């Protein structure tokens, strides 16, 4: 009797796990970096005000191999601002030519944000406290899932606009 009880509980637990897995399969199916890269692309799509010229949207990456190189895979993807080109500038000045700046390492957050102040460049980072530091969109993990936070004040300060939908999906919005 006891054994049976234990057995049924196990089965139930397994079932529940399986059921949960299947339910969230989509979110967990991709590696974290791929999801973050897709999120960057979506951020571009749901934002406006980047000063692009021609049909090129330059996405600059700061840090060593940001998103395990997955960011570069975005090159060639079409957006409403133009085709994505992922670059890794070597100088700080080069960042100014970017339309989107992804900061992949915590130590480089402050100099990047400082050099790009008042520049119409969308800044995205995945280090903790990025948004607090004045970055515009911060990627983070919560409960195993990739989530994000929007610093709406920084966006507006830079003369950019993000979609209300993005705001709605964000975990937190800093004014």
Number of H helices, E strands in the chain: 6, 10
What is the nearest approach in angstroms of another protein to the Cβ of residue 6?
29
Residue 3 or 25 having the CB closest to another protein = 25
Residue among 30 and 88 whose Cβ is closer to another protein: 30
Question: Sheet harboring 122-125: ordered strands across?
Answer: 78-79, 82-87, 56-62, 100-103, 122-125, 137-142, 145-151, 172-174
Residue closest to 55 by CA, chosen among 99, 101, 120: 99
Q: How far is the CB of 28 from another protein (least distance, A)?
A: 10
Q: Which residues bind another protein (CB under 8 A)?
A: 26-27, 35, 39, 42, 44-46, 78-83, 163, 165-166, 168-169
Identify the residue whose tokens are 């796990």. 17
- When the beta carbons of 48 and 107 are compared against another protein, the nearer one is 48
Q: In whole angstroms, how close is the CB of 45 to another protein at the nearest point?
A: 3
């Amino acid at each position: 009797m006891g054994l049976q009880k234990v057995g049924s509980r196990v089965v139930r637990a397994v079932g529940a796990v399986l059921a949960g897995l299947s339910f969230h399969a989509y979110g967990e199916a991709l590696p974290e970096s791929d999801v973050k890269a897709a999120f960057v692309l979506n951020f571009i799509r749901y934002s406006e005000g980047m000063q692009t010229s021609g049909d090129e949207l330059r996405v600059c990456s700061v840090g060593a191999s940001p998103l395990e190189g997955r960011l570069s895979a975005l090159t060639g993807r079409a957006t409403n601002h133009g085709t994505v080109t992922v670059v890794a500038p070597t100088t700080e000045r080069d960042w100014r030519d970017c339309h989107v700046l992804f900061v992949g390492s915590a130590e480089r957050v402050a100099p990047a944000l400082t050099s790009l102040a008042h520049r119409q460049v969308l800044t995205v980072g995945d280090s903790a406290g990025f948004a607090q530091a004045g970055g515009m969109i911060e990627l983070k993990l919560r409960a195993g899932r990739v989530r994000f936070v929007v610093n709406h004040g920084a966006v507006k300060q830079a003369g950019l606009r993000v979609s209300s939908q993005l705001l709605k999906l964000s975990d937190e919005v800093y004014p």
